[in-house]
Structure 1
C-alpha cells in the first residue's frame, strides 16, 4: 500500500510540467529510495537531533527519517527539522507531511523558502544558528554558470564547483557539526573529471566516506521522471576518521538484488592519484588492470599525449564541406570509425567529410599519420564506454593534414602521428574488457574526457608495440582482443 507521502509525490510529479522540473532541477524522491537512504544513518549519544533537508520537496526524505525515529532505530528525545524548499507551491504539501507526524514523534520543524545557497552561505559566514547533526538530501541537478551569483556566493565559502548538486552537498557538509552524518542521492559525475576536482578535494578534506550505493541501471532510480543519470547514494561523516568503505549495488529501487562488499579506502581513492578520482568497485575482486604489474606506466612514461579533437565544427561552420573538394582536408568524426577501420569519406552521414585549409583553420590540423582515437561520448545503448579506433593514413590519398572534430580524443606524439604498431596496440589495449571495467569504477556517465585517459595507467611502450604487431589484421572480436591481451601479459 502506498503511503500518503508517496501518493502526494506521484500526484505532484505527474502534475508538474517537464519545463518546470528542468528549471528547478529537482526530481522528487521515490519512497523506496527514501527509506533506503534513511536506513543508512546510525544512532549517536545525542538526545536532540537537528536534521537538515535542503531541497525538501514534499518531505519524502524527512518522512523516511522520521519513520526511522518512530521504529526506534534512531531514538531521540527531540527532532528539529530545518527544511529548505525554493518552490513555494510545494510548501503546503511539505507542511502537511510534517503535520502528519504530530503526536507520533517529538517534532519541531521550520520550512524556509528562498535560495538555499544564499541562506547557507550566510549561516557559514556569520555563524548564525546551531550546526546540524544529520542531513538527508536529493539536491537539484543543474549547471552553475561561471559568472553567476551562485558561483560568486560559493566562492565566499571556499567552494568551487559547477553544478547545484555538488554545491548543495558541499554547503551541507560545511553546516554539519563534528560527527554529523550526511546521506545524499546525487549523480555519479563528481567521481572523476577536472571540473569536479575542487569539490572532491573539499569533500575528502572534511568528511569520511562511509557507504556508497550504486544503481546499476541508468534509468530506474527516477523512472517516473524519465531521468537518465547514473545515480549514487553516498553516506558521509563530517570530520570522521576515514576507514573502510561499504559498497552496495542494486539494479533499481526495489533493492531485491542488493549486493554488499567492503573495501579499503585505497581502492576507493588511489593513494598516488593527485586528481582524487573516486572509484566504486562493484565486486570484492581487484580489477585485472589493478592486478597487472605490467600496467603501471603513464602516457608521459611512454611518450604519448592525448588531446580533445580541436575542430569545433559550429565555430568553423563556414569552412565545412559535405564532401572533399579542391583546397579541403579530411575532417574526422566518430562516425568515420568502425572497429579498427577508418571509413572516409562517407556519403550516408549528416556530418561534413571535409574542411577548408586556409589561414583561419590551419592551426587546428594534425599531420597525416597513424593515430589512436577514442570517442568522447558513447550512447546509452552501447555496451562499452571506451571505444578506440586507429586512423589509417593511406585512405586519405595525398592529404598532408587531418582535422579531428571535438567529439574525438586523439592520442599523438607532440601533435604528430604514432608508429603504426603503437597506435594499433594502444587501441587494442583500450578496447579490452579489463580497461572498460576499470574505467567504469570511476566514470559514471557516457563521456570520456581526455583527462580521464591521461590519468589511466598503461602497459610499457614496448608492450603496446608488441600488442600492435599482433593486432594488425585480426577481427574486431572482444574474445580475441581479451585473449591476445592476456597472452601478452603472460609472455
Structure 2
C-alpha cells in the first residue's frame, strides 16, 4: 500500500492515517518516505480506541530519530472530527489539507438515523458503512493532487446503496490503481467479511486516465499480475449507476465473445424480481410437506444441478405454503421460471447458481411460491416460454456469465440490480441453448461452456 504512493512535489508532507490502530500503515509509509523526496512529515493519526494508544505511540516514536517527523494523535471519532471541520463548524478542531492518506478503515454498517449518518450528511456524504465513510471524508480532506490508498471490501463497486459514494469518489478523484484479492479467506479473514477485498489508489483533482488493475490470490502476492485498462472498461460512461467493473487476469474471454453480450434484460423483454415469500412473515401458513390445500414453496436448497429437486422431506425448511386469501398475492402463476440463488457460499466456484422451475413442480396447483432468498426471472409475473427458461438457466450457469458478474461484484450476494445491470446474448442464442438442453446430453460445466462459446462465435 505504501509503495503505491508517488512523489507529490511537496517538501512538507501532511499525512493522514484515519483508524490508525497500532500504526503499522503509518510505519510502512515512513519506511517508503525516502522514495517521495520529503523533507518533513507531519502525521495526524486518528484512533478512538485508548487501549491501542500506547502501542501506536511506540510504533511511531522511533522514526523521530531518523526522519524530520512529527506525529499528532487524535483520540476522537474521525467521522465527527472530519465532518465538523469540513462543514465549517466554528468550534471544530482545524485540520490541514493532506498530501497523503493511508487507511485500513473499520467495517460496520451505519444506521440511517445514527449520529454518524447525520454528521456525514452535513458534508454531503450519503453512505451505509464506516469504511466508505472513512474513505469519503479522507478524500475530501486531501489537497489538490493529494493521494489516498485504502484497503477495503469491494461491496461499494456495485449496488444501489453505494451509488452516492461511487459518484462522490468519481467526481472528486481519479482511480489510479485497484489491487484485487481474489480470496475472501485470506484478507479480513477474522472479520466475517463475505466479499473480496481490494486496495484502492486515488488521486484528487487528477484527470482520469487508464486504470492499473492488479490481482493476487491473497496477501502473499506470490501470483501478482497487473494490466492497464481504459477507464471506460472500468466505469461505463452510459451507466447511471456508476458500477465499477474490475477485469481480472483469469478473465480471458476474447473481445469477439464479449461483444455478443450486449442486451439488457429489458431489451430481451425479461424481468427479474426477488422472491416475494418472506417465510418468517408468513410462518403460520408454511407447511413441511404439501397437501391438497397448499402450493409448492421453492427455496434455494431445492436448486440442484440446474434443476429443482422438490420436495425435500428431510429439510428443516418448509416445502409448501397454504393457498388462501392471505398468501395468494405473494404467489406466482404456474409456469416455467428460471431462479437464481441470492447468496453463494464463501468459496463456491460460481457466484451465480441457477435452476429451472417446470410446471410439473406445481402438480395440480395453479400457483407456486418463491422464497425471498431467490431471484426469479419472469414476464409480468407469468412464466417464461419453455425454451427461453431452459436457455436462460444454461446461460446463467456458464463460466462466461460468472466472469462478467465478478467484474463488478465481489460480494456473495446476487442482487436483482446486479442481474439487471448485466448484459446478455441475444434471444436467439439463449433459445439455441434451450433447444440444446433438450437433447439429453449431460449438462456438465465443460459442455455448457463449450456450447455457449460455439454459439457466440
Assess if the C-alpha contact under 8 Å between 1:371 and 1:423 holds in 2: yes
For the 8 Å contact 1:219–1:229, the answer to whether it is kept is no
Runs of 5+ unmatched residues, structure 2: none
Alpha-carbon RMSD across the aligned residues, in angstroms, is 1.7
TM-score, normalisation: structure 1: 0.89
Residue-by-residue CA offset, 1:374-412 (whole Å, 9 max, x unaligned): 110111232111111110111321111111001100000
- Note if 1:130 corresponds to 2:96: yes
Deviates more, 1:226-235 or 1:38-47: 226-235
Residue 487 in structure 1 maps to residue 454 in structure 2: yes
Greater displacement, 316-325 / 414-423: 316-325
**Match for residue 67 of structure 1 among 16, 31, 39:** 31
CA contact (8 A) 2:8 2:99 kept: no
Do residues 476 (structure 1) and 446 (structure 2) align?
Answer: no
Equivalent of 1:248 in 214, 217, 227: 214
Note if 1:235 corresponds to 2:201: yes
The 1:44–1:293 alpha-carbon spacing in structure 2 relative to 1, beyond 3 Å, is closer
Cα deviation for residue 174 of structure 1 reads 0.8
Q: How many residues align?
A: 452
Select 1:174's aligned residue among 121, 140, 143.
140
Q: Which of 205, 210, 222 lines up with 2:176 in the alignment?
A: 210
In structure 2, the CA distance between the partners of 1:346 and 1:294, relative to structure 1 (3 Å rule), is same
Q: Secondary structure at the match of 1:140?
A: coil
Structure 2 residue corresponding to 1:425, chosen from 372, 383, 391 = 391
Q: Is the 8 A contact 1:134 1:180 kept in 2?
A: yes
Higher mean displacement: 288-297 or 235-244: 288-297
TM-score by length of 2: 0.95
Partner of 2:100, secondary structure, is: strand
Aligned partner (choices 260, 264, 269) of residue 230 of structure 2: 264
Identify unmatched segments of 5+ residues in structure 1: 1-36
C-alpha distance after superposition, 1:346-397 (max 9, x if no partner): 1121110011222222211100100011110111232111111110111321
1:294 CA drift (Å): 3.0
Matches within 5 A, 1:358-369: 358-369=324-335
Tell me whether 1:413 sits opposite 2:379 in the alignment: yes
Q: Does the 8 Å CA contact 2:257/2:456 hold for their aligned counterparts?
A: no
What residue in structure 2 maps to residue 197 of structure 1? 163
Aligned-partner Cα distance in 1 for 2:369–2:120: 39
C-alpha contact 1:219 1:226 (8 A) present in aligned 2: no
Residue 284 of structure 1, CA deviation: 9.1
Q: Distance in 2 between matches of 1:286 and 1:227?
A: 28
Q: Is contact 2:194-2:412 (8 Å) kept? A: no
Q: 2-side partners of 1:227 and 1:125: how far apart?
A: 32
* CA apart distance, 1:429: 1.1
- Supply the distance in 1 between the matched residues of 2:65 and 2:256 (Cα, whole angstroms): 54
